[in-house]
A and B are shown apart, each in its own frame.
Chain A
Amino acid sequence: MNARTRRIVFVGAAAVLLALFVRGFGGLALFGAYPGPYGDVLNAVAVNERHALNVATAVIFDYRGFDTLGEEFILFTCVTGVVLLLRREPAPGPRGNKGRSRQPRRLPAVVPQVTEALQLFARGAIGLLLVTGAYVIATGHLGVGGGFQGGIILASAWLLAWLAHGPDLLDRIARSGALEWLEAIGAGGFVLTGAVGVVAGRAFLTNVLPLGTAGELFSAGTILWLSVLVGLEVCAGVVLLLREFARPPGTPGE
């Protein structure tokens, strides 16, 4: 199919899509007109029911905690898939290696270019990022934030450390297996916390911890606990991703 035929096919398909788009657009509600009942219901009852000030976080970790479990496992599976796909590549050897015709090249080790300005910036920023990430995770139910956002902020501190100080620290941490443990604790802990609800005779992921007073740090029951778990898992997952990509081929994975 040459370029001209492709263009004709594209224009035809785009015309149909445009017609559907315009028709669908006409049926939308007005900008700013909120039709559904759930938002108003949640705004009315969530703070009293869960003693959490951030209704969005209460929905994510309590009312619809099951969806968050699925999303956490999406990240978990992605990281696992990347680790599997980028596992140890064969070193250059004699031909006839299982019929591989590809000749692996010796790629250099992946080391970012370090400048002094970056190192100076990293010295101040890494600590700041760690504290900010922990704060965002811990106060997810009180203000804006939550486990996912704080976890990524924590991971960015690791990225900065990798950029400024080279891959040695990351390699050492990764070799010790700590990252896999953190990720597993984050993912498995979520499931176990949900199972506690089942053991207590109620539904999966019921909020079983004491709810406390709204506005205090230790309130809202399992919402804070699940937030911490998700933050751990997200941070460990992203750092694992970075490590897998930045590992020079030929070195063994874990």
Chain B
Amino acid sequence: MSVTDLLLAALFALVALGGTAVVLTRDPRRQLLVAGLFGLLLAALFHALGAPDVALSEIVVGTVVIPLLVVATLIKLEKMK
């Protein structure tokens, strides 16, 4: 088990935990934050697997576009000011 394998295994485990955490967070506003962190974890995994462009795309999408769309929808539904 080289260092790369350990790193990949740790990142995979973190991604699995992060995904579960996103699903288990019920309040939409808190779920947004957790989803953003999950996006960062995914980006780290992609980078470790050798795909830096995909990692950058995942960072921008997960921290900008997804929260924007969810916040915008929540605003429209008047659940959040």
Judge whether B30 is part of the interface by a CB distance below 8 angstroms: no
Tell me the minimal C-beta distance from A221 to chain B in angstroms.
19
Q: Which residue of A lies closest to B71 (CB)?
A: A245
The residue on B at minimum CB distance from A245 is B72
Is A1 an interface position by the 8 A CB rule? no
Annotate B44-59 by CB proximity to A: 1 below 8 A, 0 otherwise: 0000000011011100
Which applies to chain B's interface (DSSP): helix, strand, loop or mixed?
A: helix
Binding-face segment, A150-158, A172-180, A190-198 = A150-158
Interface bin, chain B: 10 to 19
Q: A54 and B72 in contact (CB under 8 A), knowing A113-B81, A153-B60, A156-B64? A: no
Please, which residues of chain A bring their CB within 8 A of the CB of B63?
A: 156
A107, A145, A238: the one contacting B56 at CB < 8 Å is A145
Q: A110-B75, A153-B60, A246-B75 are in contact. Are A159 and B53 (CB under 8 A)?
A: no
Q: Is A203 an interface residue (CB 8 A)?
A: no
**Is A217's CB within 8 Å of the partner chain B?**
no
How large, as a class, is the contact surface on chain A?
20 to 34
Q: State A110–B81 Cα separation when bound (angstroms).
A: 7
Bound form: Cα–Cα A108–B68 in Å:
20
CB distance from B75 to the nearest CB of A (A): 5
* Contact with A241, one of B61, B68, B78 (Cβ below 8 angstroms): B68
Q: Are B53 and A238 in contact (CB under 8 A)?
A: no
Interfacial chain B residues near A246, Cβ < 8 Å? 72, 75
Interface pair B53/A146, CB less than 8 Å apart: yes
**Complex: chain B residue closest to A86, CB-CB:** B76
Q: Which chain B positions have C-beta within 8 A of A153?
A: 60, 64
Task: State whether the Cβ of A57 lies closer than 8 Å to any Cβ in chain B.
Answer: yes
How distant is the Cα of A241 from the Cα of B56 in the complex, in angstroms? 22
12 sampled A-B residue pairs with Cβ under 8 A: A56-B53, A108-B81, A111-B81, A112-B81, A144-B56, A148-B57, A149-B56, A149-B60, A156-B60, A241-B72, A246-B72, A246-B75
Q: Which residues of B contact A (CB under 8 A)?
A: 52-53, 55-57, 60-61, 63-65, 68-69, 72-73, 75-76, 78, 81
A binding-site residues for B, Cβ under 8 Å: 54, 56-57, 86, 107-108, 110-113, 136, 144-146, 148-149, 152-153, 155-156, 159, 238, 241-242, 245-246
Q: Which 10 residue pairs spanning A and B have beta carbons closest together?
A: A245-B72, A152-B60, A144-B52, A156-B64, A56-B53, A149-B56, A149-B60, A152-B64, A110-B75, A144-B56
